[in-house]
Amino acid sequence: MKNINLTNEELADFFSEFAILRKAQISEKEALQMMNDGEGKKNRELFLTTLMEASDLVAGLKQFPAVIPEYIIALLEKNNSKVNVLEDIAEYLTGLSLTYNGVSYKQQIKAAFLYPIIVLFFLLVFSTLMLVFVVPAFDFMFKGFGKELPAFTQLFISLSQALQHNWLIFFISLVIIIQVWRFSIARFESFRKFVGEVILKTPFIGAFIKTIESAVVIKAFLLLCSYQFDLAQALRLSASATHNTVFKIALTESADNVAKGSGLADSLKQARIFSAKTLRLLNAFEKTDELKILNTLEQSYQTQIPIGVSVSLRILNVVLLIVCWIAVGSMVIAMYLPMFMMGEAVG
């Protein structure tokens, strides 16, 4: 198993180009060799080299479980000789990454956090300089006048002193926390489920994350059903399309119930991950087997996601900025209080 980092856009580009070359009657090995010639990106070069060294495309892709989800492997295994499945996978991956304006959801979320993070960074630098060099000078001056610094200012001085005297402990603690977090995420499904539940219940974030994950699952479910996977199998495989463990567990359990004879909508209703409208349309699809219904559902998500994401990110940005400016304001007040009281101290 190999670990590389490839985005959905890069994977979509790979499957799209590979499909074109295979349509031109070029063999798998030769197509992969042509794609690898002159490749400058190390991740993509390692990816293509591994595929070339494998016995076939599917065997090579299986070596990247963190990048290639299970449903893609299943599609290729069932339709290994069909070029159109490569095109459909490319189209699916392209659809995962884009909104109406061509910007990925991940990029929008990063953009929403960018300005508050910049503000917090400069706040940290400003606070550190003030606490280390300026406030101690005020402390010395006030003590010379027989006065004490204001309690609010003294609070920040105490924080600064604690950080200066115990920075190694803080640093080691931070490293330990990060390592424990990574280990728990990698090893314990119960912990991943807990994190997933927290994310889905977080104000401003949970709503659009749930909508995005639902759209991803429905899109994968549609793709699998269009290639004649039965409902239980399609539902189980579509769980590999989501990164949220709550969705993964719910879909897997629902797939087991469907395999035992339960209805699709009834099984998913117990999971509580889809909206009432989604459940109604899935119930109609189960009864009619009309892929057009899933297409309608997918298009509905494609319409509502950009609006929901835009509104949620605006609210989140405002909240983050308010928090940042409260922190900035508190620091400024703490720094200027001694100046306001200096005249009284001198008098």
Phi, psi of 4 (to 5 degrees): -140, 165
Per residue in 95-112, pLDDT (tens digit) is 776 554 555 666 666 666
pTM for the structure as a whole: 0.74
Q: Is residue 3 part of a domain?
A: no
In this structure, what token pair is assigned to residue 3?
């670990």
Q: How many separate domains does the chain show?
A: 3
pLDDT tens profile 236-285: 999 998 888 889 998 998 999 888 888 888 888 877 888 888 888 888 98
Interval 203-233: pLDDT, tens: 777 777 888 888 888 889 999 998 889 889 9
End residue of a domain, out of 46, 66, 97: 97
In this predicted structure, the answer to whether residue 169 has a pLDDT above a threshold of 90 is no
Which of 48, 72, 97 is at the close of a domain?
Answer: 97
The answer on pLDDT for 346 being more than 60 is no
Last residue of a domain, one of 289, 316, 335: 289
Same domain, 312 and 280: no
Residue 2 falls inside a structural domain: no
Distance CA 317, CA 105 (A): 15
| Greatest CA separation for the chain | 93
Q: Using the Cα atoms of residue 21, residue 26, residue 29 and residue 33 in order, give the sign of their dihedral.
A: negative
Residue 121 structural domain? 104-187+305-347
